[in-house]
Amino acid sequence: MATSAAQRTADLRNYVIVTGAYWADTITDGAIRLLVLFYFYELGYSPIAVASLFLFYELFGIVTNLVGGWLAARMGLRFTLLGGLATQLVALGMLLVAPQSLLVVPYVMAAQALSGIAKDLTKMSSKSAVKLIVPEDASGQLYRWVALLTGSKNAIKGVGFFVGGLLLTTVGFHAALGVLMAIVATALVLVLVLMRGQLGRPDSKAKFRGMFSNNRAVNVLASARIFLFASRDVWFVVGVPVFLRSEQGWSFWQVGAFLAVWVIGYGAVQATAPRHVRDPDGRTATWLAFTLAAFPVAIAVALSAGIDGSLAVVGGLIAFGLVFALNSAVHSYLILAYAEGDKVAMNVGFYYMANAAGRLTGTVLSGLLYQWQGLEACLWGSAIFIVITGLLSRSLPSVRRDSPAVAGAPAAG
């Protein structure tokens, strides 16, 4: 018993270190996104071309979550965390040391691919770590911890947007990259010096085929996650910032500050989700999804009716963010509730592979739809994706993970 308590204390200490490193990488990730988006748009890149810069970022996120979950199972979460931070340094260095190469789109796409790999390795490590320190029968505690981690991550990413806009305005693109490299390097050194052990019990016999879940609840949730995040990124990645900059005349600073405040607020709602949504299950995810679908439709109708674009988008995006944050927090809890204890890293990796697939779909369509028919087309695409999310969520278990019904074959809700 004493050994078990000591192990849990060590895991908690390591978890704090993992979370701090994850926050450092998340600030950097948000800042890079804004820097790249506006730097290349100002160089004259079309919305489709700008979206293509993030194509490998999202595509390699799919691969990373699969391979990363397997590596974490075999070698421990410390290995994947250090790998993520080191990869982020390489990605930043590529953009910093070869400014003439920034005119070559494939080169920038490759740098963004490495950044995406880094972000997903650190995210998978921190999310998996939660399961290790929460007792199996403490579903309420698990929900609160997951909500806090997920919410803080998104709030920190909002800070990253703010930092990116500020640095681009004050010191320029290349100096900003140097600042971000210093943040990531500091996190890497702290993990190397302070972390003990591997965080969890590595299994050198873990097979890659185990990454593909045979848990029906995990598979359905992963499918719903694809469409949920496609519904956000189809208008958030390119559509909204370009619309505010080019059609509403906002400055870099204004767009960056607004996106930062939105993501911080979104994260705050996620962190407090247990206060607003109690004992979530598949039915919770279903009604939240169908409620969410109303907001992009309302914004699109408002724009068609000639209502001021800034007012419609800002007001609508705030309302959308509130409900989306609750939906995402419920999903983040459910994946750990459904995950099998000895395969948590693999189940979480599989789930975030689906998350990356949704972001990839949304990112590509954000550029295509905006260039085709503007922001309204992006909004209608978002609504369609959300409806599909709700329909899939109806098949999620209507009971919690610690119920016997879920421990066996999950029943449809």
- Taking only Cα atoms into account, the Rg of the chain, rounded to an integer number of angstroms, comes to 20
| Residues contacting residue 60 through CB under 8 Å, at least 6 positions apart | 113, 114, 116, 117, 120
CA distance 180 to 24: 9
**Does 83 reside within a domain?**
yes
Note the pLDDT of residue 412. 29
The first and second tokens of residue 219, run together, are 């598979």
Whether 370 is in a domain gets the answer yes
Q: What is the pTM of this model?
A: 0.71
Torsion of CA 260, 264, 266, 270, to 10 degrees: 160
Tokens of 242: 């370009």
Domain assignment present for 224: yes
Segments forming the whole domain that contains residue 19: 2-194+210-407
Q: Are 309 and 322 in contact (CB under 8 A)?
A: no
Task: Tell me which residues of the chain have a pLDDT lower than 50.
Answer: 1, 399-413
Q: Is residue 89 domain-resident?
A: yes
* Residue type for position 95: L
Q: Is residue 200 part of a domain?
A: no
pLDDT, one tens digit per residue, over 299-333 is 999 999 989 988 999 999 899 999 999 998 899 88
Q: Cα separation of 311 and 294, whole Å? A: 17
Q: Does residue 373 contact residue 68 with C-beta atoms inside 8 Å?
A: no
How many domains is the chain partitioned into structurally?
A: 1
Whether 357 is in a domain gets the answer: yes
* pLDDT at residue 380, rounded to an integer: 96
Residue 249 pLDDT: 82
Alpha carbon dihedral 322, 327, 328, 330, in 10-degree steps, equals: 130
> Domain for residue 275, yes or no?
yes
pLDDT score of 56: 80
**Alpha-carbon gap, residue 102 to 36, rounded angstroms:** 10
Question: Kindly report the CA angle at 263 between 258 and 264, in degrees rounded to 5?
Answer: 95
Res 109: pLDDT: 83
Domain presence at residue 204: no
User: Can you give the length of the chain in residues?
Assistant: 413
Summarised one tens digit per residue, pLDDT across range 155-191 is 787 788 888 888 888 888 889 999 999 999 999 999 8
CA atoms of 315 and 309, how far apart (whole Å)? 10
CATH code, domain carrying 386 = 1.20.1250.20
Give residue 184's pLDDT. 94
